[in-house]
Every structure is written in structure tokens, then in C-alpha cells.
């Protein structure tokens, strides 16, 4: 930029004093202290008239401290809260710690410290870091899931579901991690290995477990997703996990009269079912196995019992299985088909038995080829008949019609599916049904660090709920808390704790020694926040009615099928029990993206983990906040590169100088600059519009870019108070300490967070128009008003569309165009 180009006398003559430079450490310490002293972030929960519950996913305090992904998520959510406060809402932004669970316990084992000693230290460390990054958190309502005042009510929720028949105990096949020494949910098994221990193969065990019957809510959970204001990616993940499939249950009978029910989504292919496959755990396997086949079947079942459930579902492996020696009658053909068992069929989906149609299912085709079983085509596309041999399975034939299906040949497969189901139903051999991929939620964990499940077992009375007046069942201090391979919780070693009198009859009884899943702790924490200061209720009815459902929730898609699904289920269940006035917990959910470092996912092994403390110490929290938000679209994430952060610091330095210049504006300077400030005034309104719209939609990177453009324009113009003050308010959600200091430098005594978000005039926000001279062969033939910065192609099209110009250009294509931006279009014909 040429020297002397700037017009702002007050800007150019502002003294360059070293003690007036922006010092982020001093500014941030000052405002953190002020916020605490003034209660700036405190929310009047009972008195709020326009409540806005801004929720962020509370962290596991299970490591040395926050990582950059935590900071990225929290800052993005905090910007929303601050923005809506400036828009006039009373924003409640609480935070707490998801401190129970296997993450925390494993970290305690790793560092050799008892979790009851380690986790409080970690929480203090996390809290310090969270305060340092400038979150607008009302810490009066902090919750910790390890606090008996909290998990008393987690246990209370269990009892409500138990009384409603939604909590049941049963023996089931579960995933067991030998390293974690506890049960894993299916979602925690990746390709047959534990998500926490990628080199540890997961096993299958049969254990007595407590389950919440979430499957009773499967259709309702799915239906509500259709109208949820959630990120599309999150809704899709959750819908796929629920996995609704419409089909039929068909009956294959054995000569002895045993009825084997199978579930299929393609009843139209039943004529191609050439064998049955049962899950090795199917209750009929022992009865159906002939004596000569029993040794092989028994050995195979033993081997499958050691496999984890997820690998059996999705494993890419050689097909294995064993013939039982028995047969059943195909209900459509009347022919006998052999009955096999194989690991790829599971009891937990459908009926635990399938009809195998190798002609139209790839998995069945591979199995049939390996076991030399018949393969029959029963659906064919145009130009094919039923006699053509199949080189591979043909699962999808959109316009297929039935073949080799007497009575149904020639029918489109969709029509045939309905007719065959109805015809078999009339014979008592089938019925239309709906199945779901979703399974009941296993909440039992054979670990120490969790809330004890509030149940007592009595030989006379059976399973007895702990009376509510006896809650909480406090987790006992246990020196030897490490899990073992027995499948029994460490609490079973605390005999003095688990031996208690029965609440019903008073006779000797014993407590449940499993603890509950940490996802139960987080399935209701948002309900607790407004009532965290109450010990007599889980949540206050009036406050809950005022503040919930949560207005805005921002978090990661990694929780789409665990935390978010379980929270929805618990909320629906409490609603059905008359304990809540709403069915869905989160009005709006947005999934944030992921931060990588120099193009690679962060990991200690790569040596590219970003320690937020080091960057905050060097650059300041506000610079770090804005840099994270500037990396890329918030809902996608970005690539953290050290070189980029200095640009944000330079931007804040420019705003600092502009604020100083505006603060020194002479009393008459506003009027003196008004005549020449038209362009800046229009740009200010455009900037307010862009930042408003982009902040609302979480497009933080482009909001910051708009502010940068405006700052550059102000540096070339007149940084008057009227032009700079709106900028400071726009910055407040992004760089809160910095904005507070700038606001004070401009002469204000209150918090910038008590200011009003600037409005904009749509007429002034429209891009400024300039006059283009339109020439044809060098002669002026018209004039057009177009937006400043209009591209050449757009300007030429507008010129050619003008009737006055078209008289001289005709309909032919111009031979040449001379274009001067914002001034001239010369068309040569």
C-alpha cells in the first residue's frame, strides 16, 4: 500500500507506544478475574424470559488434560451461546465431567493411581484449562458423574425403568475384551478388536446381564428422526443403526414337526431357498443334530463361542459351517432342504435362523459354493430365463420377474413378495413382520469405577429394588479395584459391602456387584444441570419445563449411536412414565468436524498431537480460539498448521490499533468523516449481515474472513467509533477477552456481553453499485449500473441484454471484449 494513502488522521497520528501494544496474557487474566468477580456468566434460571440452553458434550477427565479436539468442539459451541446472548436470549451454558467409566479407570490403572484419588485431580486440571479458553460457563451448576449427589439420581432412573419393565436381567452372548476385562457394546468393537486396545481380539462370553429394552422404542426413535433439526449425517447414522427392515417370517417344518421360523426381506425368493442355516446358539441345534454329526457340531459350536459378535457379523473370512444331519420342508416347494449351522448367523438378529438363497445373496452364494450346495435362480431380468447358470449371486435386479417359481412365474418380484407372504400366511406358514438392527442396551459392566446397580438379591424375595430412601448405593472404597478374567466385578471382593439384609423380608441377601454403563450417566446429565443445586429431586419440574428440551447441542458424530441414542431413549421412557413433559431431549443438534495436524490424524505415535496449553501460553486463548475456527468449515474440521496462527494474531493487533484510534476520535470527528464514510458504512452493514448469517449457521471461518475484510477497509479509511464499535461486538463470541478489553477502551463500563448484537440495513448491505460505460467498437452506446466487483462475463452478458446496445451488436458473437473493472465494457463486433 502506498505511503500516505490512508485517510484517517486519527489513525495515522495515534502514538506508537510499546505499553499500548496488545498483551493477550494480561488481558485474558484480567477478564477471567472480572468475569468471576462480576458473575458475568451467571444465569438467572428462574427469572429467564427468553431461555436458551446451550449444551456441549462434557468431557471424560481421563487423561493429562484437554486435547485440541476438545477445545475445537467447546469453542464452537461457546460461540453459539455468546452470539445468542448478544441477540437478547438468556443463555445457560453449563459444563461438567463424565468422570466414571472405563476410560477413567483404565487411565488410573495405567498411571498406577487409584481413580478416587486421580480423577478429582484431573477434573481440577480440566476445569482450569476450560476456564482459560474463555468459555461462558456458569460453573455454579457443574456436575460430576462420580459425585454421590449425582449418581443417586442415576440409580433412581434405573429404578424407574425397572418398575416399568424396561430394565430386565437375562443371560446373553456378549463381547468380552480380555484387556478391558469387561463387556463391550457392539459399537465398541472394530473389526473384531477392542476400540480401546486395537491389538486385542474380542471374545464372546455368556453372562447374566442387565438390559434396557430400547428395542421397544425402535420405531418411535426412527420416526422422530424425520423431523429432528439435526445434522443430516447424524440422523443418517442413527437411522442406519436402528435399521428397520420390512419382511416376513416363514416356517420350515422338520419331519418330526419342529417348526423353524426364519426372517427374510425377500419372500419372493423362497423357491430358491436350498438350505437353512441356524445360529450355533439356536435352541433347536442340539435336538436337530444327529448322532453321527454331533462331534463335529459340538466342536464347531465351541469354536464359535470364542468369537466376538461383531466379527461374526461383518468379518471378511472364509465361510465355515457344519451340517446337522437334519432336514426341513421348504414351505413353497415342499422339498426337503438340509439344516446347517454357521457363524455368520446370530441369535440376536431376526429369529436366529435364515433361509439361504444362494442365487440372490452373495454370502449364501459363497457358502453354497464352498459346501457344494444347490444354487437356483428364481428372479431374472429381461432376456434371461431360469435355466441360465449363475456365475455369481444376483441380489439386486430392479426390473426382475420370478422364474422357477410355479404359480408365480412372470410376476414382478415386488408383487410376488406380497402375494407369496399372503399365501403362506393363509396356510399358517408365514406372516409379514418388521425387524430392527437395534438391540437392547446392555448396561452391566464388570468393573469398579461406576455407579453400583441398585438391586439386591434375596433367596426368598428374588430380585428386590433398593428402596429410594436408601439411595445412593455408594461405591465403596476398594484398594484392589483392578478387574480380572473371571467375568465377576471387583465389587464381589467387598463382602462386607455386598452382604446386606433384604429390604423386603430382612433375611441375609446380597447386592448386585456389577456397575452400570457410563453411557447411563451421560444419558440424562442435561436434565440435571438446571437442578444441580438440588439434593431432593433429580430435576426440578418448573425449571426443567422452562429450560428443556435443550435448545442447541453441539458434539461429535462418534456419539451418534451411543450417547445420543441412549439419551433419546431415556427421555422418551421418562416421558411415558409421566416424569417429563417432552419426548426428545435436544431441539437442535449439530455435529462438528475433526481437526488433523499437517494432513494426518493426531496421535502420539505420529508425534503430531497439539497441546492447547502451549499455544494458549504463546499466543493467547483468543488467538487460539479464532485460529481453530478459521481452519475450515466447523462442521467439517480442518488441518492445523503452525504457520497459520500468526495471521490471526496480526488481525487482532490491527483491531487493537483501530480501537485505540476510534477511542481517540475528537468529539466532532464523527460528523467530519460522515461525508466520506459512505463506502465504509455500506461495508459495515454488509459485514454485520455476513457475520450474523455465518455465525448462525456455524460457518465460523467465513464469518472471520468477513471481519478481516472489514478491518482492512477500516485501515484504509476512517476508524471512527461508530464504525469500530459494531466490529468489537461481532468479535465478542470469537475472542471474548479481547473484545471485553476493546469495549472498555472505547469507554464502556459494562461487559460487551451485555451489549446488543448490531443490526444491519438490508438496503445498505446490498453490494454497492457503480456505473459501467458500455461501448460498441469504441463508441458509447449505453450505461449500466452493476454491483461493484462484477465479473467480466456477467458485465458483458448484461450489456448484450440491453436493447439499446443490442441495436449496434446484432445477434452475432463479439470478436473481442475490452473490460475495465467497475468502469468500462467495450464490445468489438
Angle in degrees, CA 593, 594, 599, rounded to 5: 130
* Cis ω for the linkage preceding 189 (within 30 of 0): no
Burial class (CB in 10 A: 0-12, 13-18, 19+), 369: middle
What is d(CA 793, CA 436) in angstroms, rounded to the nearest whole number? Answer: 55
Whether residue 95 contacts residue 135, with contact meaning beta carbons closer than 8 Å, is answered with: yes
Q: Does domain 769-828 have CATH number 3.10.20.590?
A: yes
pLDDT of residue 535: 96
- 49-66 confidence digits (pLDDT tens): 999 999 999 999 987 788
- 403-422 confidence digits (pLDDT tens): 999 999 999 999 999 999 99
pLDDT of residue 14: 40
pLDDT of residue 353: 95
pLDDT under 70: residue ranges of the chain: 1-19, 187, 308-317, 386, 603-605, 666-677, 768
CB atoms within 10 A of CB 425: 15
Burial class (CB in 10 A: 0-12, 13-18, 19+), 37: exposed
The pTM of the full predicted model, rounded to 2 decimals, is 0.85
pLDDT of residue 676: 43
pLDDT of residue 667: 47
Nearest CA-CA partner of 119 in 103, 148, 101, 99: 99
Cell of 296: 463335529
Fold of 24-151+524-601: Rossmann fold (3.40.50)
Largest Cα span, the chain: 109
Q: Which CATH superfamily is domain 244-436 in?
A: Valyl/Leucyl/Isoleucyl-tRNA synthetase, editing domain (3.90.740.10)
CB atoms within 10 A of CB 565: 23
Fold of 157-230+441-519: Rossmann fold (3.40.50)
Domains 24-151+524-601 and 157-230+441-519 share a fold: yes
- 478-526 confidence digits (pLDDT tens): 999 998 888 889 999 999 999 999 999 999 999 999 999 999 999 999 9
Q: C-alpha distances in angstroms, 90 versus 51, 414, 533, 740, 750?
A: 5, 55, 19, 19, 17
Domain residues of the chain, as ranges? 24-151+524-601, 157-230+441-519, 244-436, 769-828
Amino acid at each position: 500500500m502506498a505511503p500516505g494513502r490512508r485517510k484517517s488522521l486519527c489513525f495515522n497520528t495515534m502514538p506508537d507506544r510499546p505499553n499500548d501494544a496488545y498483551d493477550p496474557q494480561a488481558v485474558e487474566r484480567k477478564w477471567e478475574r472480572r468475569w468471576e468477580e462480576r458473575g458475568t456468566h451467571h444465569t438467572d434460571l428462574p427469572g429467564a424470559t427468553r431461555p436458551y440452553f446451550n449444551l456441549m458434550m462434557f468431557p471424560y477427565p481421563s487423561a493429562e488434560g484437554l486435547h485440541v479436539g476438545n477445545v475445537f468442539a467447546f469453542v464452537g459451541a461457546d460461540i453459539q451461546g455468546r452470539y445468542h446472548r448478544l441477540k437478547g436470549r438468556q443463555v445457560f451454558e453449563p459444563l461438567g465431567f463424565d468422570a466414571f467409566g472405563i476410560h477413567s479407570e483404565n487411565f488410573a490403572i495405567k498411571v498406577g493411581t487409584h481413580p478416587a484419588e486421580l480423577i478429582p485431580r484431573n477434573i481440577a486440571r480440566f476445569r482450569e484449562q476450560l476456564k482459560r479458553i474463555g468459555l461462558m460457563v456458569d460453573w455454579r451448576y457443574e456436575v460430576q458423574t462420580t459425585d454421590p449427589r449425582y449418581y443417586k439420581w442415576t440409580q433412581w432412573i434405573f429404578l424407574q425403568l425397572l418398575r416399568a419393565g424396561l430394565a430386565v436381567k437375562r443371560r446373553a452372548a456378549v463381547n468380552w475384551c480380555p484387556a478391558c476385562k469387561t463387556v463391550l457394546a457392539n459399537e465398541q468393537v472394530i473389526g473384531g478388536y477392542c476400540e480401546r486396545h486395537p491389538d486385542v481380539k474380542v471374545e464372546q462370553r455368556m453372562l447374566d446381564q442387565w438390559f434396557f429394552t430400547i428395542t421397544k422404542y425402535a420405531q418411535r426413535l426412527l420416526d422422530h428422526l424425520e423431523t429432528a433439526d439435526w445434522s443430516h449425517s447424524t440422523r443418517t447414522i442413527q437411522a442406519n443403526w436402528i435399521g428397520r427392515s420390512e419382511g416376513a417370517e416363514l416356517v420350515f417344518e422338520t419331519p418330526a414337526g419342529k417348526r423353524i421360523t426364519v426372517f427374510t426381506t425377500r419372500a419372493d425368493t423362497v423357491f430358491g431357498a436350498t438350505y437353512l442355516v441356524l445360529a450355533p446358539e439356536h435352541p433347536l441345534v442340539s435336538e436337530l443334530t444327529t448322532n453321527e454329526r454331533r462331534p463335529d457340531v459340538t466342536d464347531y459350536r465351541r469354536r464359535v463361542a470364542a468369537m466376538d459378535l461383531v466379527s461374526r457379523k461383518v468379518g471378511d473370512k472364509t465361510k465355515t459351517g457344519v451340517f446337522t444331519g437334519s432336514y426341513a420342508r421348504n414351505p413353497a416347494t415342499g422339498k426337503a432342504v438340509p439344516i446347517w449351522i454357521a457363524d455368520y448367523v446370530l441369535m440376536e438378529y431376526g429369529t436366529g435362523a435364515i433361509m439361504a438363497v444362494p442365487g440372490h445373496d452373495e454370502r449364501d452364494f459363497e457358502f453354497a459354493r464352498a459346501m457344494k450346495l444347490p444354487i437356483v435362480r428364481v428372479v431374472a431380468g429381461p432376456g434371461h430365463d431360469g435355466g441360465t447358470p449363475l456365475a455369481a449371486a444376483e441380489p439386486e435386479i430392479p426390473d426382475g420377474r420370478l422364474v422357477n417359481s410355479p404359480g408365480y412365474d412372470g410376476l414382478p418380484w415386488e408383487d410376488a413378495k406380497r402375494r407369496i407372504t399372503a399365501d403362506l400366511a393363509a396356510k399358517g406358514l408365514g406372516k409379514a413382520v418388521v425387524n430392527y438392527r437395534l438391540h437392547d442396551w446392555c448396561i452391566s459392566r464388570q468393573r469398579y469405577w461406576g455407579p453400583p446397580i441398585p438391586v439386591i438379591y434375596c433367596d426368598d424375595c428374588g430380585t428386590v429394588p433398593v428402596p429410594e430412601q436408601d439411595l445412593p448405593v455408594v461405591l465403596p472404597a476398594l484398594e484392589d479395584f483392578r478387574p480380572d478374567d473371571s467375568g465377576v466385578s471387583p465389587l464381589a471382593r467387598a463382602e462386607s459391602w455386598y452382604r446386606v439384609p433384604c429390604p423386603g423380608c430382612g433375611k441375609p441377601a446380597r447386592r448386585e456387584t456389577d456397575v452400570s454403563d457410563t453411557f447411563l450417566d451421560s444419558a440424562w446429565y442435561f436434565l440435571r444441570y438446571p437442578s444441580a443445586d438440588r439434593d431432593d429431586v433429580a430435576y426440578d419440574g418448573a425449571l426443567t419445563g422452562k429450560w428443556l428440551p435443550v435448545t442447541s447441542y453441539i458434539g461429535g458424530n462418534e456419539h451418534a449411536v451411543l450417547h445420543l441414542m441412549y439419551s433419546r431413549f431415556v427421555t422418551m421412557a421418562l416421558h411415558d412414565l409421566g416424569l417429563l413433559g417432552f419426548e426428545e431431549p435436544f431441539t437442535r443438534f449439530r455435529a462438528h468436524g475433526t481437526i488433523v495436524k499437517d494432513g494426518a490424524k493426531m496421535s502420539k505415535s505420529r508425534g503430531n498431537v497439539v497441546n492447547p496449553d502451549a499455544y494458549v501460553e504463546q499466543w493467547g486463548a483468543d488467538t487460539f480460539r479464532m485460529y481453530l475456527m478459521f481452519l475450515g468449515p466447523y462442521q467439517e474440521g480442518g488441518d492445523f498448521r503452525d504457520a497459520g496462527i500468526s495471521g490471526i494474531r496480526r488481525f487482532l493487533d490491527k483491531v487493537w490499533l483501530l480501537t485505540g484510534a476510534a477511542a481517540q476520535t475528537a468529539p466532532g470527528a464523527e460528523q467530519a468523516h460522515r461525508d466520506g464514510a459512505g463506502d465504509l458504512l455500506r461495508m459495515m452493514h454488509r459485514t454485520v449481515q455476513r457475520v450474523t448469517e455465518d455465525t448462525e449457521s456455524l460457518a465460523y471461518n467465513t464469518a472471520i474472513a468477513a471481519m478481516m475484510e472489514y478491518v482492512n477497509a477500516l485501515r484504509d479509511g476512517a476508524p471512527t467509533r461508530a464504525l469500530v464499535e459494531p466490529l468489537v461486538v461481532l468479535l465478542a463470541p470469537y475472542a471474548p477477552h479481547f473484545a471485553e478489553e476493546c469495549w472498555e477502551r472505547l469507554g464502556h463500563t459494562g461487559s460487551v456481553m451485555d451489549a446488543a448484537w448490531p443490526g444491519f440495513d438490508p438496503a445498505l448491505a446490498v453490494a454497492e453499485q457503480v456505473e459501467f460505460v458500455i461501448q460498441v467498437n469504441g463508441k458509447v452506446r449505453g450505461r449500466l449500473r452493476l454491483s461493484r466487483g462484477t465479473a467480466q462475463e456477467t458485465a458483458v452478458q448484461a450489456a448484450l441484454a440491453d436493447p439499446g446496445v443490442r441495436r449496434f451488436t446484432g445477434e452475432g458473437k463479439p470478436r473481442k471484449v475490452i473490460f475495465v473493472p467497475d468502469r468500462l465494457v467495450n464490445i468489438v463486433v
